[in-house]
Amino acid sequence: MPSAFNFNVWPFDCLNQDEQRLVREAVDIGYYPEGQNILDTGAAPLHLFLIIKGHVAQYDGDELIATYGPDDCFDGRALVAGKASSRFVAAEEVVVYQVARQAVRDLIAANATFGALLFSDLGSKLSAIAQRQSMETMQSLAVSHVSDAFIRPTHFVDADTDVVSVVKLFQAHNTSNVLVRDGTSSPPRVGIFTRSSLQRAVLQGTPLDRLPVGQMSQFSLITVPASAQIGDALTLMLRHRVHRLVVTQGDDILGLLESLDVFSFLANHSYLLTVQINLAQDLDALAQVAAQITRMVALLTRGGSRIDHVASLVREINARLFERAWQMIAPPELVENSCLFVMGSEGRGEQLLKTDQDNALVLRDGYVPPGDLQHIVTRFSDALAAFGYPPCPGGIMLSRPEWCMNASDFARRIREWLILPSPEGLMHLAIFFDAHAVCGDAALLKQLRRTLLELTIDNDAVLGRFAAAVEAFSSAPGWRDRLLGFADPDPVIDVKKEGIFPIVHGVRSLALAHQILDETGTVPRLDALVRAEALDAQMAGELAESLHFLMTLRLKAGLAELEARQPLSCDVHLARLSSLERDLLKDALGAVKRFKALLRQRWRTEWM
């Protein structure tokens, strides 16, 4: 009976002590020389295998469909089904742990997470992982420091200031409280006046322009050091039944921490950034908010938040950030007579880290902008660059004339992309197809979408050329071998080329073919395609889960590069993945392969 069984790899890492004891009592070690069949198609498996040494190849007929290496587990699905649907062969000398079939069945019955990780589909595996991480997420956030949360700026007034003047300050600074200095007491003291205090002042009956704010202030402040943990701050609020704390650093007051900010911090950080965007008075203040977005993404991701949830939050924050920047730069008349929109991954709501700007501006027909329009749009592009969003190498930005024009000219350009398709035009059509309005009159963008509806898309040759881009990044030879490091000590895979782009563009192509124009996100498009009976629900579900998993891998790789101060490539180093992540990657790329086969069957994309 082996004593060194590795309980740190999936699916065994979710077992309790009693369940681990069951494994130890039912495990043995197996040896298979190179070329030997470990499990044959149709055979009833007697064990669950966990590889100690060597590599195993999985075949469907003569086609290699997966490879497994140390700490990889197979074939749980065959154990549940009662027979193997594939053939497993030792690609080299292999040593494995063999866990008896009955013990595995007992573990599945006792531990739902173990069963889900072992033999379920990609979506069930990811759901099981999310459940395990949810408690860890709240715990990690609760032990964050007060300085990590949003500390609201303080506004001081003297105690003899009249209440009317304080209310004017409330309105001018969009705040609900001020700190009050009382220099007449010994020693001097500081209190707080809030909107609740204002209610009491009104009910007192003294004219507010003659009522000193010090008379209605609370001078027993509840303070918390900036170095304290968020959980401690929340405890203080509950203990003293207050909604805000004064944050201190030594003898200095740094600002105020409000209960809504604490709860929002524990739930998600997007609310805090949105508040700061709303309070920003200039571009420099917006730049400070923009600098926090990647940190928010990192905190949420490492805390276990779902990738689609994180992407949705990023989209909303970016949209609000871009809207506020445009409102600060563009005259109100220009804002009212135009529509600023974003495209590409930003438009789909699938951008996580700051990538190239993809935006445009459509102007109302007949409207003549005041002043120098080129100066205004260039200033906006420069502002986004200062926020950390680099200029688009292809020039797809509103600071370029071809992406800043009136509605009629834009509609004419869209017709050219459709009727006289060129590689560049089809690329522009793809990017525009994901457009999402962020500021101004959204009806202008909606009208451009109607241009697509007016042109009936029933030309399979055009649609085929449009869809053929999924083959532009065809899988490099031997990627399954590289997945386990057969040919490279540090194998790397570009999951955007291998998986994300084929899903995104393939779904985009089907949506265009079925004139699904109101949805811009890939998953909403998948749902719409299922409702239109244009795509099987099971495949749509596989593609959605695969997309989210691949986005997660790419995001984690990018965050690691940023932390190491390396150039941002988001390439995934396979040797750094856990055995579970490698298994999920195989499932995801398998779904991509099936989807590309469907697109080839419809449009013969491999020949275009």
Annotate 469-481 with DSSP letters as a single string: GGGTTPPPTTHHH
Q: Average of pLDDT values for 261-273?
A: 67
The string of pLDDT tens digits covering residues 377-397 is 999 999 999 999 999 988 999
- For tokens 């007491």, what's the residue? 185
- Residue 605: the pLDDT is 64
Q: Average of pLDDT values for 362-379?
A: 93
Does position 341 have pLDDT exceeding 90, yes or no?
A: yes
Both tokens of residue 522?
């890939």
Both tokens of residue 565?
């101060």
- Residue 187: the pLDDT is 83
- Residue 462: the pLDDT is 77
Q: Give Dmax over CA atoms of the chain in angstroms.
A: 95
CATH topology of domain 307-455: Beta Polymerase; domain 2 (3.30.460)
Quick one: which of 392, 390, 383 has its CA closest to 325?
A: 383
- Residue 458: the pLDDT is 62
Pick the CATH number of 12-119 from 2.60.120.10, 3.40.50.1220, 3.40.190.10, 2.40.170.20: 2.60.120.10
Does position 266 have pLDDT exceeding 70, yes or no?
A: no
The string of pLDDT tens digits covering residues 304-327 is 677 887 888 888 889 999 999 999
- Residue 173: the pLDDT is 86
- Residue 267: the pLDDT is 58
Domain spans, the chain:
12-119, 307-455, 462-607
Mean pLDDT of the chain: 85
CB of 494 within 8 A of CB of 452?
no
Rounded percentage of the chain residues whose pLDDT exceeds 70: 88
Does position 452 have pLDDT exceeding 90, yes or no?
A: no
Q: Average of pLDDT values for 351-368?
A: 93
- Residue 110: the pLDDT is 86
Both tokens of residue 109?
């019955």
The string of pLDDT tens digits covering residues 18-75 is 999 999 999 999 999 999 999 999 999 999 999 999 989 888 888 777 778 888 888 8
- Residue 485: the pLDDT is 46
- Residue 77: the pLDDT is 78
Does position 472 have pLDDT exceeding 90, yes or no?
A: no
CB of 29 within 8 A of CB of 96?
yes
Q: Average of pLDDT values for 416-437?
A: 88
Q: Average of pLDDT values for 183-202?
A: 88
Position 124 confidence tier, pLDDT thresholds 50, 70, 90:
low
CB of 224 within 8 A of CB of 146?
yes
- Residue 236: the pLDDT is 81
Q: Fold match between 307-455 and 462-607?
A: no
Q: How far apart are CA 254 and CA 234, in angstroms?
A: 18
CB of 118 within 8 A of CB of 73?
yes
The overall pTM is greater than 0.75? no
Pick the CATH number of 462-607 from 2.30.30, 1.20.1270, 1.10.1760, 1.20.120: 1.20.120
Does position 477 have pLDDT exceeding 50, yes or no?
A: no
Position 135 confidence tier, pLDDT thresholds 50, 70, 90:
very low
Element (DSSP H or E) covering residue 25: helix 17-26
Does position 106 have pLDDT exceeding 50, yes or no?
A: yes
Does position 3 have pLDDT exceeding 70, yes or no?
A: no
Q: How far apart are CA 349 and CA 471, in angstroms?
A: 24
| SS3 state at 179 | strand
CB of 113 within 8 A of CB of 131?
yes
- Residue 363: the pLDDT is 97
CA distances from 363 to 340, 386, 425, 562 (A): 9, 25, 21, 38
Both tokens of residue 35?
């070329």
User: Which one is predicted more confidently, 117 or 311?
Assistant: 311
CB of 195 within 8 A of CB of 177?
yes
CA 348 to chain centre: 12
Q: Average of pLDDT values for 510-529?
A: 92
